[in-house]
């Protein structure tokens, strides 16, 4: 259990970043925990695994891709429970972990192909703006570069943890022209660089088509609306939270104040919301493995492609 708690802390502390990476590492951690588990019987195994699942889920409240992956594995185990033996349960978890891993990788590849088509092949350099770090957005831009598209990227530094630098480095390594701006310069950058397209990722999607992403995302969406710039969100359907269909609200994670100010003066209150919502009315299209459509259609596509998770 000590090792699992250490692994969970790596997610909580943001050592592991990006919703997709968090999902993949969380199911790895559950699989590794199962291999170390010594149980008297199958019921004890399930009790320990559910406890481990909850510990991992609690590390990041706004990560449906992780929740869906962990729940997918446990649901598969429940279906096979009558045929399971405690000493072989880790083998089954490994099998289901690999199935979920394949789902994510296939969806990511498909989204990169679909998203890259939104960047036209023109002689004039096209300008794309993004916010924070999204492995999916990076995959789309890398695919567009591979196709020989002529474009440059404006990205934000993303306070307070500066995740935007990860995006910048990844794109620069691929030979993509990148300009980074401070978060509060979003509106100025859209006007100054005459941005053609804004593309961000998502950490969660609700049943109403609202997306939840890094703080600052709604500001960028409002800028896009004001300046008439197309605003797209790239996300696998696996980031849809089916619980929101039953009235459960997504939680906006509040992180440590020390991320903003290490030694603040006494008496000051520091708030550090990590995410915010973007209404469906500001989203021109959601780029998913099922294609590009209005974000409000997510529940239908999710049920169609991943019926076992509904």
Kindly state whether residues 29 and 66 are assigned to the same domain: yes
Greatest C-alpha distance within the chain = 67
Could you give the angle at the alpha carbon of 87 between the alpha carbons of 86 and 90, nearest 5°?
Answer: 90
Tokens 């916010």 sit on residue: 131
Kindly state whether residues 99 and 123 are assigned to the same domain: no
Residue 251: per-residue pLDDT: 79
Report the predicted TM-score, pTM, of the whole model to 2 decimal places. 0.88
DSSP state letters, 123-192: SSPEEEEE-S--HHHHHHHHHHHHTT--EEEEEE--TTTTTHHHHHHHHHHTT-EEEEE-GGGHHHHHHH
- CATH number assigned to the domain comprising residue 241: 3.40.50.10470
pLDDT in tens, 275-310: 999 999 999 999 999 999 999 999 999 999 998 777
Q: Residues 6 or more apart from 247 whose CB is under 8 A from it?
A: none
Kindly state whether residues 182 and 60 are assigned to the same domain: no
CB 287 within 8 A of CB 236: no
HSE-up (13 A, CA, CB side) for residue 211: 34
How many other C-beta atoms can be found within 10 angstroms of the C-beta atom of residue 113?
14
Kindly state whether residues 176 and 215 are assigned to the same domain: yes
Per the DSSP assignment, residues forming a β-bridge with 160 are none
Kindly state whether residues 205 and 242 are assigned to the same domain: yes
Kindly state whether residues 243 and 99 are assigned to the same domain: no
Domain final position from 60, 84, 109 = 109
Kindly state whether residues 9 and 130 are assigned to the same domain: no
Kindly state whether residues 39 and 151 are assigned to the same domain: no
Nearest residue to 164 (alpha-carbon basis) of 201, 119, 204, 126: 201
Nearest residue to 169 (alpha-carbon basis) of 155, 187, 188: 155
Residue 242: per-residue pLDDT: 86
Residue 169: per-residue pLDDT: 98
Number of domains, the chain: 2
Kindly state whether residues 156 and 305 are assigned to the same domain: yes
In a 3-state reduction of DSSP, which class is residue 31? helix
Kindly state whether residues 96 and 118 are assigned to the same domain: no
Residue 87: per-residue pLDDT: 75
Kindly state whether residues 26 and 88 are assigned to the same domain: yes
Cα 301 to its chain centre, rounded Å, is 18
DSSP state letters, 79-108: HTGGG--GGGHHHHHHHHHHHHHHHHHHHH
Domain final position from 54, 76, 109 = 109
pLDDT in tens, 168-195: 999 999 999 999 999 999 999 999 999 9
Given 7, 32, 132, 196, the catalytic residue: 132
45 is catalytic: no
Kindly state whether residues 148 and 97 are assigned to the same domain: no
203 is catalytic: yes
Residue 214: per-residue pLDDT: 95
Residue 205: cis peptide before it, omega within 30 degrees of 0: no
One pLDDT digit (tens) per residue for the chain, 310 residues = 889 999 999 998 888 877 778 888 999 999 999 888 888 788 888 899 999 999 999 998 778 889 899 989 999 888 888 777 777 788 888 899 899 999 999 999 999 999 999 999 989 999 999 999 999 999 999 999 999 999 999 999 999 999 999 999 999 999 999 999 999 999 999 999 999 999 999 999 999 999 999 999 999 999 999 999 999 999 999 999 888 887 777 778 889 999 999 999 999 999 999 999 999 999 999 999 999 999 999 999 999 999 877 7
Rounded to an integer, what distance in angstroms lies between the CA atom of residue 181 and that of residue 186?
A: 7
Residue 144: per-residue pLDDT: 98
Domain final position from 74, 109, 144 = 109
Rounded to an integer, what distance in angstroms lies between the CA atom of residue 212 and that of residue 238?
A: 14
Strands 126-130 and 231-234 come out as unpaired
Structure-block tokens of residue 30: 């559950």
Which residue range is the domain that position 42 belongs to?
A: 2-109
- CATH number assigned to the domain comprising residue 98: 1.20.120.420
Cα dihedral: 127, 132, 135, 136 (round 10): -50
């Amino acid at each position: 259990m000590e090792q699992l708690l250490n692994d969970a802390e790596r997610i909580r502390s943001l050592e592991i970043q990006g919703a997709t990476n968090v999902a993949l590492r969380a199911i790895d951690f559950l699989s590794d925990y199962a291999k170390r588990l010594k149980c008297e019987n199958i019921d004890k195994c399930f009790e320990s695994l559910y406890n481990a699942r909850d510990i991992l889920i609690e590390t990041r409240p706004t990560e449906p891709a992780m929740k869906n992956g962990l729940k997918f594995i446990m649901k598969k185990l429940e279906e096979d429970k009558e045929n399971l033996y405690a000493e072989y349960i880790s083998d089954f978890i490994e099998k289901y972990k690999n199935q979920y891993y394949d789902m994510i990788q296939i969806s990511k590849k498909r989204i990169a192909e679909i998203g890259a088509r939104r960047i036209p092949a023109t002689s004039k350099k096209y300008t794309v703006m993004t916010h924070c770090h999204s492995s999916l957005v990076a995959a789309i831009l890398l695919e567009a570069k591979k196709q020989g598209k002529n474009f440059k990227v404006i990205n934000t530094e993303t306070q307070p943890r500066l995740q935007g630098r990860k995006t910048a480095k990844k794109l620069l390594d691929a030979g993509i022209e990148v300009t980074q701006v401070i978060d509060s310069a979003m509106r100025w950058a859209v006007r100054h660089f005459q941005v053609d397209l804004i593309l961000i990722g998502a950490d969660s999607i609700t049943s109403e088509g609202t997306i939840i992403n890094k703080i600052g995302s709604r500001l960028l969406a409002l800028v896009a609306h004001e300046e008439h710039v197309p605003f797209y969100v790239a996300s696998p359907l696996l980031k849809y939270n089916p619980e929101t269909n039953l009235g459960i609200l997504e939680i906006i994670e509040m992180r440590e104040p020390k991320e903003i100010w290490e030694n603040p003066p006494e008496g000051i209150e520091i708030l550090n919301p990590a995410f915010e919502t973007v209404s469906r009315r500001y989203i021109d299209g959601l780029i998913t493995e099922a294609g590009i459509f209005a974000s409000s259609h997510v529940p239908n596509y999710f049920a169609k492609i991943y019926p076992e998770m509904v």
